[in-house]
Amino acid sequence: MGESLRVALAGLGTVGAGVIKLLDENRELIERRAGRPIEITAVSARDRSRDRGVDLSPFAWEDDPDALAARDDVDVVAELIGGADGPALNLARGTLNAGKSFVTANKAMIAHHGLELAAAAEKANVALKYEAAVAGGIPVIKGLREGAAANAITSVYGILNGTCNFILTEMEAKGSDFAEVLADAQALGYAEADPTFDIDGVDAAHKLAILASLAFGTELDFDSVATSGIRQVIAEDIVEARALGFKVRLVGTAERHGSKLFQRVHCCLVPRTHPLAHVAGSLNAVVAQGNYVGRLFFEGPGAGEGPTASAVVADLIDVARGEYGPAFAMPFARLSETGPADAGDRRGRAYLRFAVHDRPGVLADITAAMRDANVSIESMIQRSGADPSEDSDDVVSLIMVTHEGPERCVTDALDRLRGSQSLAGEPMLMHILDL
């Protein structure tokens, strides 16, 4: 048995405490799989006095997390602080510049600074590992980087945020609107007090940018992810989707279009026959399509103490084995530059909900905009009592499903309707998943 891998742990929140518990409880098994012991030697957090439910007395304490990278009794730093910049990024840079491996669960930092950190890790010939940054305990990073390494991946997509998925599936089950279910999710601890990053799709966009780079061998391009969330979904959308044979899910999708990359996080109508339609509660799921392996489907818990700690320790085991490899599946210099693909070139069907004033000529206005934009309407339904947030009694819902066509045509139709006196609110657009 070799010498111990000595670990410094930065951040002692739920996940940090989970890492300590896991290393202790599964110590013998981890040692056998890693080929040597994995030992925590030093820790750092903001509040030394806080009770975290674990014994910290065996570990050296550093008030400044940057000091962890400089310690002689540390081989690898595991960062669980969070945040794209600030202390987490300073620690990452300091660790890699000191010639030590770095493990993180920080998807925001990887999405924004992953290229810089990958280059620093290669230069120092150390590991940069981030399995816990995407989809919690699901081994999707390892699956794409190693298991599917021989395949050309044509698309990668999935449900990447457990908070949004919990809210949408609760809306399905209870028939409630978004605001009511969000309040329940916050009370149960599934949503933060400020849930903006989750419900506006930013968290999912961070993860999608990372998956896209891994899948297609491209440079990270978070800024090009077209992002929207679930705030505009109402109970009526859930009901109409069910009647049409679909479920509503927030889906992140990435595809390579020649030298360009399409990346979008967007509410979609998912056919009930698709595996993603059956991903319920706070679970995550990722689908990758390979040219030889076919469809790969990864599902499991995307957050929480146990799943995230499991992924962090799995990365530590890789480091203990000396299994480094390039952070994004190929050497940094071989990652290709890319730009955003034009979403208008994609073909598909769309679901549209209009809150309209119930008066003569409204339907003609909307259908004329569709006609002039070359959008073919597959079906149309009018419902009364559209949006419970509307005070006016003359507001009704007009639901449309389009035939397959270029996405730019639907965008053009909505642009033509912008400012129309027929509309009582912003239209709701959800693309129909056909993958």
Predicted local confidence at residue 390, as pLDDT: 45
Per-residue model confidence (pLDDT) at position 385:
52
Are 410 and 378 contacting, i.e. CB atoms less than 8 angstroms apart?
no
Burial code (b: 16+ CB inside 10 Å, e: under 16) for 326-346 equals bbbbbebeebeebebbebeeb
Pick the CATH number of 344-432 from 3.40.605.10, 3.90.550.10, 3.20.20.150, 3.30.70.260: 3.30.70.260
Q: Six-digit token pair at 373?
A: 């934009």
CATH among 3.30.70.20, 3.30.360.10, 3.30.428.10, 3.30.70.1140 for 150-301: 3.30.360.10
Q: Using CB atoms within 10 A of its CB, is residue 419 exposed (0-12), middle (13-18) or buried (19+)?
A: exposed
41 neighbors 73 (Cβ within 8 angstroms): yes
The whole-number pLDDT of residue 51 equals 87
CA-closest candidate to residue 95, choices 72, 112, 76, 111: 76
* Range in 285-299, 312-326, 376-390 with the lowest mean pLDDT: 376-390
Kindly give the residue spans of alpha helices, DSSP state H, lying in 125-252: 140-142, 162-174, 178-188, 196-199, 202-216, 235-244
User: Would you say the C-alpha torsion 409, 411, 415, 420 has a positive or negative sign?
Assistant: positive
Q: What is the pLDDT of residues 202-237, one digit of tens each?
A: 999 999 999 999 999 999 999 999 999 999 999 999
How many Cα atoms sit within 13 Å of 378 on the Cβ side? 12
Contact of 106 with 311, CB cutoff 8 Å: no
Q: What is the SS3 assignment for 151?
A: coil
pLDDT in the model for residue 391: 47
User: Rounded to the nearest 10 degrees, what angle do helices 27-34 and 14-25 cross at?
Assistant: 80
Task: Report residue 349 as tokens.
Answer: 């069907």
Q: What is the mean pLDDT of residues 252-281?
A: 95
> In the chain, where are the structural domains located?
5-133, 150-301, 344-432
Q: What backbone torsions phi and psi does residue 6 show, to the nearest 5 degrees?
A: -100, 120
Among 77-86, 185-194, 223-232, where is mean pLDDT lowest? 185-194
Tell me if 329 sits within 8 A of 145, measured CB to CB.
yes
Chain CA centroid to CA 364, Å:
40
Tokens linked to 245? 């044979």
State yes or no: pLDDT of 264 exceeds 70. yes
Q: What is the mean pLDDT of residues 150-156?
A: 95
- Partners of 102 in the beta sheet? 77, 128
What is the end-to-end Cα distance of the chain in Å, rounded?
48
Domain 150-301 and domain 344-432, same fold? Reply is no
Sign of the CA dihedral with 56 first, then 59, 60, and 63 last:
negative
1, pLDDT greater than 60: no
Q: Which residue numbers are catalytic?
A: 207
What's the mean per-residue pLDDT of the chain? 93
H/E stretch holding 7 reads strand 5-10
Structure tokens at 84: 């794209």
Reported as type and span, the H/E element at residue 116 is helix 107-124
- Where do we find the tokens 């750092």? 44
Grouping H, G, I as helix, E, B as strand and the rest as coil, residue 111 is helix
Beta strands 405-406; 60-61: pairing state: unpaired
What's residue 187's pLDDT?
87
Residue 112 has pLDDT above 60, yes or no: yes
The DSSP code sequence of 263-300 is EEEEEEEEETTSGGGG--TTEEEEEEEETTTEEEEEEE
Mean pLDDT of the region 44-54:
89
Phi, psi of 98 (to 5 degrees): -85, 0
Contact 315, 126 (CB under 8 A): no
Residue owning tokens 């799709």: 201
In CATH, the architecture of 5-133 is 3-Layer(aba) Sandwich (3.40)
The model's pLDDT over 334-392, given as tens digits with 9 standing for 90+, comes to 999 888 999 999 999 999 999 999 888 899 999 999 999 999 999 998 876 544 444 44
Instruction: Report pLDDT for 392.
Output: 47
* DSSP state for residue 428 in the 8-state scheme: E
